Structure 1
Amino acid sequence: MAYPTWQPGTLYQPGDIVVPITMPAPTSAVVVNGEFTDGANGWDFSGGAFYSGHVSKGGWRTCVELPGNVAEGLALNDTQLVVPVGKKITAACLIEQGASIAGATRGWVEVHWFGAGDTLLRVDKGNPVDDGSGGAVHRSTCVSTAPAGASYCRTGIALWSVADHNHSVWGGNLWVEGAFSGLPADLAYKAVQAESGFSDSNEPAWPPLLGQTVVDNEVTWEAISATRVEWKAEPLYVAGDTEPEWVEDIGGLVKDGTATLRTISRRVEDPKCPNTKIVAIVASKVFCADDDIVSYSATVNPLDWSTTDDAGYLPTGLQNYGSNPVAAMGLYRGNLIPFNAEAFQLWQVDEDPASMALLDALPMGSTQHHAMAAVSNDLFFLASQGVRTVGIAASSTNFQAGDVGMPIDPLVQAAMLGAIPPLGLYFPAAGQYWLMFPQHEPDRTEVFVYTMTRIGQVGAWSRYVFPFAVEDWAIAGDALYLRSGDLVHRVDDSVLGDEILADMGGELPVRDVLPFPGLIRWPWLDFGQPGVTKLLYGFDIVGTGAVSVSFGIDQTNGGLFTPGFVVPADTVPGMVIPMPLAAPSLAVELRYDGSERWQWNAIQLYLQDSRPMA
């Protein structure tokens, strides 16, 4: 690249580049006065280091000395050595420790790299010499690579001593190898002053190092490499100062500054996409219910529903129990399960459509897609009778074979009468399956929670009532979030109540916390032979948190219960709590007001028959 030659008395703009008439002198390839033959000339001393006329046993003059009881010192040579970026320089020096104890003193050679404006970029150190007892002399060597942005380097000798040591340490005989003895290739000079200015009538003393500057009357020149190319980025499309008038037609164009924007649709435009909400993702495809079949997209391309031998459909309507449309879908051990009102089918799915196959079909159906959840290696779903699992239903081929949801079937069937579809989820952090039945007017959500207590054992159901209608849910990390309108609730087992927005008569609603009371109720129990009157004379309870206890005494009278009375959380210490009652069957009811954390562990009833057993 050809640049103009510098001219005297010429107006130069910032950014102008010239080459000098008289090139600067070549840089040095060796350090000046590295053996201190000219005393301290050409050296900078810092810390406790100083010039010394000490002569070693070998006869060489060290001249850099660090006295005892001084922590550290540095002698840095003034010679600016040029090394191309990525190339190596080798520096070395000799260290003498005299009468110092091994490890009490040490010395090494250093290479200091500087960038533009004499900014220190990096310091590389050679091997430390820390054992020279008896006057022995050892060498410290450093091989250093020029970093990016380096203009030059300087080398020096560093010395160090422990605080309680009083013997000196010396260094000297500094030399280098690998420095550049000429000038950087195609050296040029760039005007870097803020405004345009005139050059002097005489040529300046051009600096030989990249990044260094020289003042030329009103112009400041910086040494650069003339082989570099400078790129200036300019935006092709710039938005206007105001928002444009948007068009709503698909494919329409609107001008916005220097950019032209086209309206596109965010929908899947493939006409074979069913666009229903009953969707499952498996085998790198999207499966979507399409009346009595299940369509699927191309592999890893949910926009494509038409490519032959990649996209297609499962012929669920041609199999057994296929007269009703597909209403729900889930995953069971990596296989796809489409449900309709009559039955479910088990399909092996694969990225290759040729490897897809029907595995099984059983007459047990479900129409609640959002109530379905994969739990462990099973699939929980909501049937017309209640919560069921594919594993047990498939092995028993009916809904009455002791499945997990049977204990709460009457409660679930009553909750299913609401108009809002239920939501199901698996909460891994708690090991729970949640089945939520939201409703409006009043806003509330009835939730049935199945908790797996131990691996291989049946869990337990709990029922919760939230004072808001849950519209959606999400799991982030180990936390479960529930959305109700514009509010997002986080499930936290350390909180004693539910947070809601309450209307207190002001302009804006305020946050309020409703206590979360607890209720535990047993069914009517005979405690022996049915119809025989039993005498209850006391009980004990074990748990945490104050509890109100009531007893059902008349099963035929709509479930008559005694008034509740509060007892301590743990009544085992001391006497039995007296409770004289007589009835052929009894029920127990425990109520917690929610003002404190509570837990129930056990209850013991003390009773006897009032007549001999037959």
Structure 2
Amino acid sequence: MATITFNKFDLGIDLRKSAAVSDANRLREMKNAYVTTGLATAKRPGFVKIATLEAGTQGLSAALGKLHTFYGGAEEITHANPLFKANRLVCAEEVTDDITNETSHAAVHKAVTDVHYADVFNGCLYVSAQHGDVCRHHYLEEDGITQVTDAACPHTRTAIKSASKIFSISPDGSTVRYSKTGDPTVWTEKDDAGFLPTGLNAMGNREANALGLYRGNLVVLMRDGAQVWMVDPDPTAMSLVETVENVGSSYPQSLATVAGDLYFLSDFGFRSITTQQLVARLDDLDIGSPVDMLVRPCLKALKGTPKAVYFYGTGQYLCAIDRQMFVYSVSRTSKIAAWSRYELPFTVDAMDELDGVLYLRSGDDVYKLDEEAHTDDGKEYEVILELPYMNFKTPGVLKRVYGVDLVMQGECYFSMGFDVRNFEAVTDEVRVAGNTYGGGLIPLEVAGTEFAPRFRNVTDQPFQLDALTIYYEPLGVL
């Protein structure tokens, strides 16, 4: 009798190698689960609906102890739930007095159809919002008109705060404009504002698509390249630090800073900009290559806007693409860098973290990711774990498997694939509950040269897989 034990799942999903030659800790599937800091695999937390908001608002942004939403209509909207605050965005229209020929701005109420960016600047919210077919920047410093009326304000979707300024891509994408230091409503050059000539310094595509922050510097991403700019309250101190070729993004809301590095979604999968510590050189890193085969079909069928956040509560980069959420669990202490994926019961319109809790908005419904919940608002979801085909370090040798033992919390249905040439060649499922060591092995009869263990859980209880032991007998070379 021979045995083999698998107790490390630290690499998560990794499809770079074929199923027949991949390592045991590189899973073929990890659906609705993630890698824990103990290198086990656990069922993801459930999504719990906490509110259905009053109709008419868009967005969800955590700031000043509240979850903020935005609207543009003339009628005031107030949320009954004190966790939320609805903010009115009032557009401006330039009017000219027929007698004095002087110009002023009149308030115009335009419905908010989307929110691209929101952050706190000097204690007030700065917002980039979509009003139908036009985008407008707003600064909620006082009642009345909130739109930034400076003619030099770019009023584009992408914006970011750094060096006591707001930076935003110009309408044609050839420059990145920035506001006056300490005053995001002033964008004229004579008032300490100006622009970065990003298009002039581009190696390929000149049109900027996204903005991010990397170690205190501003990162400007084109579709096929990136530029790192040192930014400063003093415009004369700004300069181009470095360019990174052949890595970029077309998805501005997919950017997130993770442990000092910048993660984002490119046209071909997830990538990052990081520093090689020994040589202090900026490099692009294809952190997403293990799941490129899963991500690219999602991008081809994309219907909505990919949205990402770094969730400090779990140390995970989360990116929602329609009804799929790709999850990158990162822990330098535990040496974890693992991909998994969540299937969502709804599309994500916005998400943000407040006081260590992740909130997601879909339509007027708001959910939270609740570690105590193991269903999606009462509905059970399926967890699937699938290991690659493994030959137990004896390739080409026929083996007879006759039993397994599992160390786990909860229950699952266990089966085993036994022919890598036919993925449908799988044993019948066996229901297993709890830790089976010491209680007699779980009988499972199957023969083959390589085997792929599979686990499936559909309950309203926690589930965590810690280890698998397979008992088998070598039968000789086939």
Bucket of the pairwise TM-score, normalised by the shorter protein: 0.5 to 0.7
Distance 1:409 1:269, change over 3 A: same
Of 182, 187, 194, which aligns to 1:300?
Answer: 182
1:434 touches 1:448 (CA, 8 Å); kept in 2? yes
Of 487, 490, 498, which aligns to 2:368?
Answer: 490
Q: In structure 1, what is the equivalent of residue 356 of structure 2?
A: 478
Alignment of 1:405-444 (within 5 A): 405-417=288-300, 418-438=302-322
1:335 and 2:217 matched:
yes
Pairwise CA RMSD: 2.4
User: 2 CA distance for matches of 1:275 and 1:559?
Assistant: 54
Q: Deviations over 1:159-200 (max 9, x none)?
A: xxxxxxxxxxxxxxxxxxxxxxxxxxxxxxxxxxxxxxxxxx
User: 2 CA distance for matches of 1:406 and 1:565?
Assistant: 34
User: 2 CA distance for matches of 1:266 and 1:252?
Assistant: 20
User: 2 CA distance for matches of 1:361 and 1:252?
Assistant: 46
Residue 385 of structure 1 and its aligned partner are, at CA, apart by 2.8
Residue 265 of structure 1 and its aligned partner are, at CA, apart by 4.3
Residue 379 of structure 1 and its aligned partner are, at CA, apart by 1.0
1:391 and 2:274 matched:
yes
Q: In structure 2, what is the equivalent of residue 356 of structure 1?
A: 238
Alignment of 1:85-104 (within 5 A): none
- Secondary structure of 2:379's match? strand
1:543 and 2:408 matched:
yes
1:382 and 2:265 matched:
yes
User: 1 CA distance for matches of 2:334 and 2:250?
Assistant: 29
Q: Deviations over 1:471-502 (max 9, x none)?
A: 00122111111001011111101112112xxx
User: 1 CA distance for matches of 2:472 and 2:208?
Assistant: 56
Residue 345 of structure 1 and its aligned partner are, at CA, apart by 0.6
Q: Deviations over 1:410-446 (max 9, x none)?
A: 11222222121211101112211101112xxxxxx21
Alignment of 1:251-290 (within 5 A): 263=107, 265-290=145-170
Residue 369 of structure 1 and its aligned partner are, at CA, apart by 0.8
1:457 and 2:322 matched:
no
Distance 1:603 1:252, change over 3 A: farther
1:449 touches 1:463 (CA, 8 Å); kept in 2? yes
The range that moved more, 523-532 or 373-382, is 523-532
Residue 360 of structure 1 and its aligned partner are, at CA, apart by 0.5
User: 1 CA distance for matches of 2:259 and 2:422?
Assistant: 44
Distance 1:553 1:456, change over 3 A: closer
1:346 and 2:346 matched:
no
Distance 1:395 1:591, change over 3 A: farther
User: 1 CA distance for matches of 2:167 and 2:313?
Assistant: 28
Q: In structure 1, what is the equivalent of residue 34 of structure 2?
A: none
Residue 540 of structure 1 and its aligned partner are, at CA, apart by 0.8
1:541 touches 1:571 (CA, 8 Å); kept in 2? yes
- Give the letter aligned to residue 431 of structure 1: G
1:315 and 2:185 matched:
no
Structure 1: gaps spanning 5 or more residues: 1-247, 254-260, 439-444, 500-512
Of 387, 397, 401, which aligns to 1:522?
Answer: 387
1:372 and 2:252 matched:
no
Q: In structure 2, what is the equivalent of residue 210 of structure 1?
A: none
User: 2 CA distance for matches of 1:309 and 1:610?
Assistant: 82
Identity %: 34
- Give the letter aligned to residue 546 of structure 1: E
Distance 1:252 1:515, change over 3 A: farther
Residue 544 of structure 1 and its aligned partner are, at CA, apart by 0.7
Q: Deviations over 1:22-74 (max 9, x none)?
A: xxxxxxxxxxxxxxxxxxxxxxxxxxxxxxxxxxxxxxxxxxxxxxxxxxxxx
- Secondary structure of 1:498's match? coil
- Give the letter aligned to residue 313 of structure 2: A
- Secondary structure of 2:199's match? helix
User: 1 CA distance for matches of 2:303 and 2:263?
Assistant: 21
2:274 touches 2:284 (CA, 8 Å); kept in 1? no
- Secondary structure of 2:376's match? strand
User: 2 CA distance for matches of 1:482 and 1:345?
Assistant: 31
Structure 2: gaps spanning 5 or more residues: 1-91, 98-104, 108-143
Q: Deviations over 1:576-596 (max 9, x none)?
A: 222221112211110111221
Aligned length: 337
- Give the letter aligned to residue 268 of structure 1: V
Residue 262 of structure 1 and its aligned partner are, at CA, apart by 6.7
Distance 1:396 1:606, change over 3 A: farther
- Secondary structure of 1:391's match? strand
Distance 1:570 1:406, change over 3 A: same
* Higher normalized strand content (fraction of residues): 2
- Secondary structure of 2:471's match? strand
Q: In structure 2, what is the equivalent of residue 43 of structure 1?
A: none
Q: In structure 1, what is the equivalent of residue 68 of structure 2?
A: none
Residue 612 of structure 1 and its aligned partner are, at CA, apart by 5.4
Residue 396 of structure 1 and its aligned partner are, at CA, apart by 8.0
User: 2 CA distance for matches of 1:576 and 1:262?
Assistant: 78
Residue 570 of structure 1 and its aligned partner are, at CA, apart by 0.9
Residue 365 of structure 1 and its aligned partner are, at CA, apart by 1.4
User: 1 CA distance for matches of 2:227 and 2:299?
Assistant: 24
Residue 397 of structure 1 and its aligned partner are, at CA, apart by 4.5
1:296 touches 1:313 (CA, 8 Å); kept in 2? yes
Alignment of 1:116-265 (within 5 A): 263=107, 265=145
User: 2 CA distance for matches of 1:516 and 1:551?
Assistant: 21
Residue 573 of structure 1 and its aligned partner are, at CA, apart by 1.5
Distance 1:277 1:598, change over 3 A: same
- Secondary structure of 1:539's match? strand
- Give the letter aligned to residue 451 of structure 1: S
Of 578, 581, 584, which aligns to 2:443?
Answer: 578
User: 2 CA distance for matches of 1:421 and 1:486?
Assistant: 17
- Secondary structure of 1:515's match? coil
Residue 269 of structure 1 and its aligned partner are, at CA, apart by 1.7
